Structure 1
Amino acid sequence: MSRLRLIVLAVAGVGVLLLILAVLIGWQGLKVNSSLQEAVDDAATLQASLQGEDKDQIDADLAALQESSGEAAERTQGRIWSLATILPVIGDDAHGVKVASSVISDLSNDGLEPLARTATQLDAVLPQDGRIDPAVIESLHDPISRGAGALAEAASTLEAEDSSGYVERFRTKFRELQQQIGDAADATDAAAVALEVLPALLGQNEPKNYLLVFQNNAEIRATGGLPGVVSVVSTDDGDITLGRQESVGGFGERATPVLPLTKDEKKVFSDKLGTFFQDANFTPDWPRAAELMRARWQELYPEQIDGVLTVDTVAMSYLLEAIGPIEVGGYTINADNAVDILLHQVYLDIADSAGQDALFQEVASTVFDRISGGEVAEPRTLLRALVRAGDEGRAYVHLADDDEQALLLGRRITGATHDADGHASAIDVTLLDGTGSKMSYFLRSQVRGTTTGCMDGRMQVEVNARLVSDAPEDAASLPDYITGGGGYGVEPGKQLIAVGLFTPSGGEITQLRIQDKKYDGDSDTLGDREVSTAFVLLEPGKPQDVSWTLNILPTDVAVPLRVTPGIFPDNASSTVARGC
């Protein structure tokens, strides 16, 4: 047989082999795709059943998901699929399918199983007849913690994969899976931590007292709004009661700060940070604000305070989604109208501050009584409301016990601007009313950050804030309590906003612009952060743009961009893409 014939036969043989392999891989791919689609359908069915109370149905749906995801994973473990992962064109995608199938299968067995087993018990974390049983909370911690660990491992595995080489359709699905598993890992980790710290908070070992501070977004402050009603919540072996309620107007002004302030704090925030209870949240750092509030309370009242919690008015509207409408002071307040009534209509209807304070106190106590009494139509809606408020920076918790607080470190619910080592990783943009009014009800803001490049090993970042007053043209005719009456030199109908930017640790602000014109502003340092403040006067309907140029240290992850939340029910905060 001639050499040429041998070559032709060899090439033909290879071609036939490749054709056979292509058919086998295609057939295997069809079977994997079928199993994966079944797994997707089974996951949706399980998600729906987890909303109910039928334990047998949950078990059946979990078993179905374990079977379908297990089949998909098994079919990507053999030699044929392994060969597919090294072939040109399809290799990256085959590898991605293998990873996704394996992750889903592992999760359905190691992560979802302990979580599903506790799904019908989650209502135990909510009060009934003014009590939450600490022992039941402890029993939930272990399975939730195991589920959180499995989800964290899955999220890490998916995050390590580079999906840029996948075909577009699969790349989109893979990135959706990364996002969904990552979000679930974060939420479950937060739940595990909450279950770990809750027994102590509930006074399992000793009675506890907490300040509950309601922030009023109509007069904006760095952490959300002016502290209004302050209540004492007491716990004792799971029993929860609402005690003393006070308005911040009764705290008055101290001659000196209630706690020593640093030189930087005095420069950036002034002595008012420590002399006025209601100005303690000039700082965006909730632990520092809480520390000052706690010290001032304990100076005036007998309760020793074990922590300071806060929610704003928008968070209150989320709670009303779960408990339903309340009848207070002649108003029917529900999730849809709470913001409008409590941040604006009240000031139109009630002229004196004492009457306003009385209404706010009644609202606070009514909502508390409904929740603590177990008057919640859909318990999971209440849990979702609390999670949403925390995610949006509308609810914070600071605990005086260092060991308890350490369990919460690194989580948004602390409202902390620094980690345990004193490092600030986020860019903070704060909004502060300078009108002495309730005009922030009309304030609309949008803040975005962009990485523009690298220079000398540092990230170049642009942060842009657009502010506009949505007040009516005749806003000057509104009551003085809303407009401020010109008391701080601001013409009625307008509002003055101090817009502050705090860099991450080691960051530098190189330029500040308003309406695209360079502006000196106020520039200071706060520890190892630079701070720049622009004072913006807003007239109804006329936007103002503020922009900063920053140089910050490079990072391997996206940089959090935290923004003071306003009255809109959304998350004003975002991230800036990593660079360098």
Structure 2
Amino acid sequence: MLRVALSTVSELDSVRASAWSPARKRLFGLAAAMVAAVAVLAAAWLLVTALAARQQLNEVRGEEVRLRAQIVAGDLNSAAATAAAVAQHARRAHQLTTGPVWAVAAGMPVLGEPLAVVRAITSAVDRLGQTALPQLVTARQRLDPARLRRPDGSINLSEIAAITPELDTARRTVDSATDGVRATPRHTWLSSIDRMRAEALSQLGSLDHSVKSADMAARIMPGMLGEHGPKRYFVAFQNEAEARGTGGLPGSFAILEADRGAVHFTRFENDSAMNGVSAHVEFGHDYDQLYAGAGTTTMYGNGNLSPHFPYAAQIWSSMWLKARGEHLDGVIAVDPTALSYLLAVTGPAPLADKSTVSAENIVALTQSTAYTRFAGDGADNLARRRYLLDIARVASKKILDPHADTAGLTAAIAKAVGERRVLVWSADPQTQALLEATAVSGSIPVTTAPYIGLSIVNDGGNKLDYYLDRKLTWTRTGCGPSRDVTVAITLTNHAPARGLSSYVTGRSDRHSYPVNAGDNRLEVSYLASTAAILRSVSVESRPATAGLGTQRGHPLYTVDLELPRGTSHTIEFRLSEPAGSGEPLVLRQPLVRPLSVTIHDSRCD
């Protein structure tokens, strides 16, 4: 019976299956059509919303450019309105790329990666628009020069301290937004999205730098400007007609006092005030090996042979303590080009001889003209020192005038800091630790990133570096953990054949070969990436030798170069360097003529 029953059921199932087969086919066909329709609709929705989101992001980009210009111009009411518009467009872009369709599509392996990148970017932009940008505009409004600088010229430190919470929140928002974008795939199957991601990270990096710099300044400035009592600083004026590691030869100097936001100079001195004074400092074996016998701690003018500014600052601070018995809270270095940026804001300052010093003439006046006007030794030498001291005094007074344009001066200082023309060191370890994370510290970084560091020191004891051109080409090949690097440094001596005084062209070095007026001698040092290995060095394609040392973990190779007037010489270093992490970092030693740098780097995933 059971066998019969099972046979009957089997036959009935067969009949039923045969009867329902056409219906099932129609059902399956309808289901497939519906799935295809849904897929088409989803794809259409993704395309439409993606295009709309791109339009909103383009609006954000345009408004962001307008916002920057308004902030720089001090048009803060318009900046607030523009920031609100940015937030509106950013929120709309984010809304367009949310929802179940985008979530499912972006979660698909491989195929969804471009969509995941877009979602991360719109999310990041939305967070910035809702939080970071409004807070930055608010901070800028609170730092309005009309509120920040009192009628007597002193700085309202409470206003600076008050913006720290907003800047801290903005900094954390930028960090979070950056992390969100960075967590997405770097390479997808859609190259335009890859470029969008790279551009977004670049812009976020720029914003991150700006926010962190502002946050750092808000934390550091009140204390350094005497929030809790007077602070005293040594201000060295560097003359780049004679190159030193941090820029130029330290000449005249001043003592600056800051007390509860009020800043004034208490004295100006010639470099002769430091004659015979030694510093008591200790920087370790690497420093001693590099500069033994160079007089960096016994000669004020050689205190900054190293390009690492904190070394020079500690030497000068120690010298002042030895000379005057006065502890200093920090050291500042500034050069004539930086002063020209500031005088472009304030206008010219009158000199004792009824002439003026201005943005247009201060560089030439202090580093060239003065040596023509006071060409001799003895009385001329003393007169030139007084003249340069007078320039430093009147320029500084003009810059500290309470009626000067604070916003313009701030922008000028920022430009000079970006070129390493204004450097600051603090004797307070905590403040110095914060400064070392910024460009104003003039520090040689301890880093695993590829490093490109050219440092030139005048070895002839003359003033010919006013006419020096520098070009550096850095080429890296290969994509392994170790890369081949070629560094070509071309130096050109443009000193004129006539018209220069013997004080400018004279040589104080010892040499066993004949030299002519205008011939220069340079110590050319190259700081390479950490753990780099030198393969060869040549001068004008001929094998040469280089001194070897270490500075802040960077191998340092030094070539003694004779550079006759009117000639160019090329030094080439061939190295093997670790791949490192991040983009190459470039040391731009500030001299009269800017350093030209060309980078050729292999593109590796």
Give the TM-score normalised by the residue count of structure 2.
0.85
Question: 1:153 corresponds to which residue?
Answer: 176
Show the counterpart of 1:320. Answer: 343
Shift of 1:71: 0.7
> Which of 352, 357, 363 lines up with 2:391 in the alignment?
363
- Mapped partners of 2:417, 2:600: distance in 1: 17
Matches of 2:283 and 2:400, distance apart in 1: 37
CA-to-aligned-CA distance 1:158-203 (integer Å, 9 cap, x gap): 3444444375555445433322221221122122112112122112
Residues 310 and 95 of structure 1: CA distance in aligned 2, closer, same or farther (over 3 Å) = same
**Number of corresponding residues:** 573
Q: State how far apart, in whole Å, the 1-side matches of 2:492 and 2:482 are.
A: 32
Q: Which is worse superposed, 490-499 or 562-571?
A: 562-571
C-alpha spacing 1:487/1:514, structure 2 compared with 1 (3 Å): closer
Summarize the Cα distance change of 1:30–1:180 in structure 2 as closer, same or farther, 3 Å threshold: closer
In the alignment, which of 262, 273, 279 is matched to residue 239 of structure 1? 262
Matched, 1:287 2:310: yes
State the distance in 1 between where 2:418 and 2:453 align: 15
Q: Is the 8 A contact 2:521 2:560 kept in 1?
A: yes
Partner residue in 2 for 1:513: 538
Which of these two proteins has the greater Rg computed from alpha carbons? 2
Q: Is the 8 A contact 1:213 1:310 kept in 2?
A: yes
**Residues 212 and 233 of structure 1 are in contact (CA less than 8 Å); yes or no, is this contact kept in structure 2?**
yes
The 8 Å contact of residues 470 and 596 in structure 2, kept in 1 or not, is answered as no
Name the counterpart of 1:561.
Answer: 586
Q: Which stretch has the larger CA shift, 356-365 or 530-539? A: 356-365
The range that moved more, 4-13 or 67-76, is 4-13
> In 2, are the aligned partners of 1:442 and 1:469 still within 8 Å (CA)?
yes
Does 1:433 find its partner at 2:458? yes
Amino acid across the alignment from 2:363: V
SS in 2 for 1:281: coil
| Offset from partner CA, 1:3-33 (integer Å, 9 cap, x none) | 9988877766555444333322222223222
Q: How does 1:161-560 map to 2 (within 5 A)?
A: 161-165=184-188, 167=190, 169-253=192-276, 258-260=280-282, 262-271=284-293, 272-328=295-351, 329-351=353-375, 352-377=380-405, 379-419=406-446, 426-453=451-478, 457-472=481-496, 474-475=497-498, 477-484=499-506, 489=511, 490-525=515-550, 528-560=553-585
Deviations 1:441-493 (A, max 9, x none): 111112233333377x5444332212112223x15x51112212576555311
Q: Using the TM superposition, name which of 150-159 and 280-289 deviates more.
A: 150-159
Shift of 1:205: 1.6
RMSD: 3.2
Give me the whole-angstrom Cα distance separating, in 1, the residues matched to 2:389 and 2:263.
Answer: 18
**In structure 2, C-alpha distance between the alignment counterparts of 1:498 and 1:570, rounded to whole Å:** 16
Return the alpha-carbon distance in structure 2 between the equivalents of residues 298 and 578 of structure 1: 52
- Superposed CA deviations along residues 374-424 of structure 1, whole A, max 9, x for unmatched, are 3334x33322222222222222111111122122233222122255xx999
Letter in 1 for 2:489: A
- Supply the distance in 1 between the matched residues of 2:232 and 2:215 (Cα, whole angstroms): 23
Aligned with residue 137 of structure 1, among 140, 146, 160: 160
- 2: distance between equivalents of 1:24 and 1:264? 64
Q: Confirm or deny: 8 A CA contact 1:164 1:171 kept in the other structure.
A: yes
Relative to structure 1, the CA distance from residue 226 to residue 86 in structure 2 (aligned partners, 3 Å threshold; closer, same or farther) is: same
- Contact 1:449–1:462 (Cα < 8 Å) also in 2: yes
2:122 corresponds, among 82, 101, 108, to 101
Give, as a single letter, the amino acid of the residue that structure 2 aligns with 1:365.
Answer: R
SS in 1 for 2:559: strand
C-alpha distance after superposition, 1:82-116 (max 9, x if no partner): 34436799744333322221111100111111111
Change (3 A) 1:37 1:426: closer
Task: Supply the AA of the counterpart residue of 2:256.
Answer: V
Cα distance in 2 for partners of 1:61, 1:449 equals: 41
CA distance in 1, matches of 2:575, 2:599: 17
C-alpha contact (below 8 Å) 2:279/2:322 kept by paired residues: no
- Which moved further from structure 2: 134-143 or 329-338? 329-338
- Range moving further from structure 2, 317-326 or 238-247: 317-326
Contact 2:139 2:166 survives alignment (8 Å): yes
- Look up the equivalent residue of 1:374 and give its one-letter code: P
State the SS of the aligned residue for 1:165: coil
Residues 284/423 of structure 1: CA separation in 2 closer, same or farther (3 Å cut) = farther
Alpha-carbon deviation of 1:569? 5.3
Instruction: Name the CA distance, whole Å, in 2 between partners of 1:402 and 1:424.
Output: 25
Mapping 1:72-87, distance limit 5 Å:
72-85=93-106
Identify which range, 307-316 or 547-556, moves more after superposition: 547-556
Q: Which amino acid aligns with 1:391?
A: G
Question: After the TM superposition, which of the residue ranges 17-26 and 2-11 deviates more from structure 2?
Answer: 2-11
Aligned partner of residue 305 in structure 1, secondary structure: coil
Q: 1:574 to 1:390 in 2, by over 3 A?
A: farther
* CA distances 1:344-388 after superposition (whole Å, capped 9, x unpaired): 2222223323333323323322332233223334x3332222222
* Shift of residue 59, structure 1, vs aligned partner: 3.3
SS in structure 2 at match of 1:200: helix
Q: Distance in 1 between matches of 2:443 and 2:602?
A: 21
Aligned equivalents of 2:225, 2:563: Cα separation in 1 = 45
Report the Cα distance in structure 1 between the residues aligned to 2:270 and 2:189, rounded to whole angstroms. Answer: 58
Further displaced range: 277-286 or 241-250 = 241-250
Letter of the aligned partner of 1:222 in structure 2?
A: G
8 Å CA contact 1:434–1:488 kept in 2: the answer is: no
Post-superposition shift, 1:265?
Answer: 3.1
Give a deviation string over 1:497-539, Cα, whole Å, max 9, x none: 1101234444432322212222112223457543221122223
Where 2:462 maps in the other structure, the secondary structure is coil
Give, in whole Å, the separation in 1 of the partners of 2:596 and 2:152: 33
**Structure 1 residues 280 and 162: CA distance shift in structure 2, 3 A:** farther
Name the residue aligned to 2:46: 25
Q: Cα distance 1:47–1:166, how it changes in 2: closer, same or farther (>3 A)?
A: farther
Partner SS for 2:436: coil
Q: How much does 1:277 deviate?
A: 0.8
The whole-number CA distance in structure 1 between the counterparts of 2:449 and 2:328 is: 27
Residue aligned with 1:218, SS: strand
CA distance in 1, matches of 2:595, 2:408: 17
2:117–2:181 contact (8 Å) kept in structure 1 = no
Q: Tell me the distance in 1 between the aligned counterparts of 2:570 and 2:114.
A: 44
Report Cα offsets for 1:280-299 as digits up to 9, x if no partner.
Answer: 11111111111111111111
